[in-house]
């Protein structure tokens, strides 16, 4: 009896026949990387095939050359001595190869199904770029990601430290066969900082990021209180100066105004001095002989004529005094003093 037939009969009797495994059943890779599946057969087998998304892409005989439909697919034994393990590789995987991967071992082994997932990373950019703001101002940054599959997880770092998720909000939008997202970060500017936006997928070894610099200018001092205080003091000072000026002007005016009593005394003294210059016996005025009071007898024209001939108005007028000059008679006018001028008034 053939040895292979005997082995096959033994496997059937022990229930080992037809058993094989494919690992992993779920594989997720990044676009452009290689995806690998391994099949381990327990028992005798002759031919193994691999199908990707319903297309036969590779045939592996236990003995002989491996045939492939494309250089993108390849297979090899786990080791030269171990023909029970086969490694199937999809090179430069893309989303076109994503989907079911089926391994079939001819005979009574049947088929095993695995699944391939391909992820794509896109771009990350902080829209605003570098910023310069005043201290304690509210500042916001918008991070945009595009052409990702699936949508990435977006986070923020500030000066190398993770930012609390409550400070930013992210939204994702499907665009054709990929995803775009937007994440807005808001916080209060305190000091110069480096702001970094990060986007990551499970297949990325490290997140893709974009960073900008935030320059914080010291906040100018609040002069409102100081201005109010200065204005208050200035107002009081101005009011004080105004009142002081009014009082001062009033006092000066009072000092310049002559006292009524003093003025009367001064006038009296002036009149006395002037009276002392007149010769003795001179009168201040003459009686009007023509004046008739009520109840008196009227005066006839003859009486007026007689009275006018006998009466005259006499008053004194000082002559001009010349210092040291002599008149035509050869004496000083200053020595003469006052001269009498007699004027007769006839009515």
pLDDT, tens digit (0-9, with 9 covering 90-100), for 181-213: 999 999 999 999 999 999 999 999 999 999 999
Spell out where 31-137 has E strands: 35-42, 47-52, 55-61, 67-68, 73-77, 85-90, 99-105, 110-119, 123-126, 131-134
| Separation between Cα atoms, residue 23 and residue 43, nearest integer Å | 18
| Separation between Cα atoms, residue 223 and residue 216, nearest integer Å | 21
3-class DSSP assignment, residue 290: coil
| Separation between Cα atoms, residue 103 and residue 94, nearest integer Å | 20
| Run of H or E residues at 83 | none
Residue 280 has pLDDT above 80, yes or no: no
Decide: pTM greater than 0.75: no
Q: Which of 191, 179, 115, 193 is nearest to 147 (CA)?
A: 179
pLDDT, tens digit (0-9, with 9 covering 90-100), for 75-105: 999 887 788 899 999 999 999 999 999 999 9
Work out the average pLDDT over 265-271. Answer: 75
Instruction: DSSP for 293-342, please give it.
Output: -TTSPPPPHHHHHHHHHH--EEEEEEPPP-SS-B-TTSSBHHHH-EEEEE
pLDDT, tens digit (0-9, with 9 covering 90-100), for 284-294: 555 455 545 45
Work out the average pLDDT over 51-69. Answer: 90
Q: Which of 122-136, 161-175, 206-220, 256-270 has the lowest mean pLDDT?
A: 256-270
């Amino acid at each position: 009896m053939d040895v292979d037939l005997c082995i096959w009969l033994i496997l059937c009797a022990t229930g080992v026949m037809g058993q094989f495994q494919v690992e992993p059943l779920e594989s997720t890779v990044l676009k452009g990387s290689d995806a690998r599946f391994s099949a381990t057969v327990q028992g005798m087998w002759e031919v193994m095939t691999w199908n990707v998304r319903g297309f036969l892409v590779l045939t592996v005989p236990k003995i002989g050359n491996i045939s492939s439909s494309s250089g993108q697919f390849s297979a090899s034994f786990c080791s030269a001595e171990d023909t029970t393990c086969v490694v199937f590789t999809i090179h430069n995987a893309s989303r076109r190869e994503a989907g079911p991967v089926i391994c079939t071992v001819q005979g009574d082994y049947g088929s095993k199904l695995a699944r391939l997932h391909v992820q794509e990373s896109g771009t990350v950019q902080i829209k605003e770029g570098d910023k310069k703001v005043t201290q304690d101002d509210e500042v916001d940054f918008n991070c945009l990601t595009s052409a990702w599959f699936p949508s990435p997880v977006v986070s923020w770092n500030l000066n190398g430290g993770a930012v609390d998720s409550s400070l930013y909000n992210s939204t994702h939008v499907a665009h054709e066969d990929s995803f775009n997202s937007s994440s807005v970060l808001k916080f209060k500017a305190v000091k110069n900082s480096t702001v970094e936006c990060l986007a990551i997928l499970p297949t990325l070894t490290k997140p893709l990021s974009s960073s900008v610099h935030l320059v914080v200018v010291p906040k100018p001092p609040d002069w409102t209180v100081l201005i109010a205080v200065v204005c208050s003091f200035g107002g009081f000072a101005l009011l004080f100066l105004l009142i002081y000026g009014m009082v001062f002007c009033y006092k000066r005016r009072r000092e310049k105004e002559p006292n009524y009593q003093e003025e009367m005394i001064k006038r009296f003294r002036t009149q006395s001095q002037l009276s002392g210059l007149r010769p003795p016996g001179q009168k201040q005025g003459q009686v009007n002989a023509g004046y008739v009071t009520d109840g008196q007898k009227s005066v006839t024209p003859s009486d007026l004529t007689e009275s006018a001939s006998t009466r005259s108005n006499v008053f004194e007028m000082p002559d001009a005094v010349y210092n040291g000059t002599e008149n035509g008679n050869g004496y000083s006018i200053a020595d003469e003093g006052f001269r009498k001028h007699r004027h007769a008034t006839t009515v």
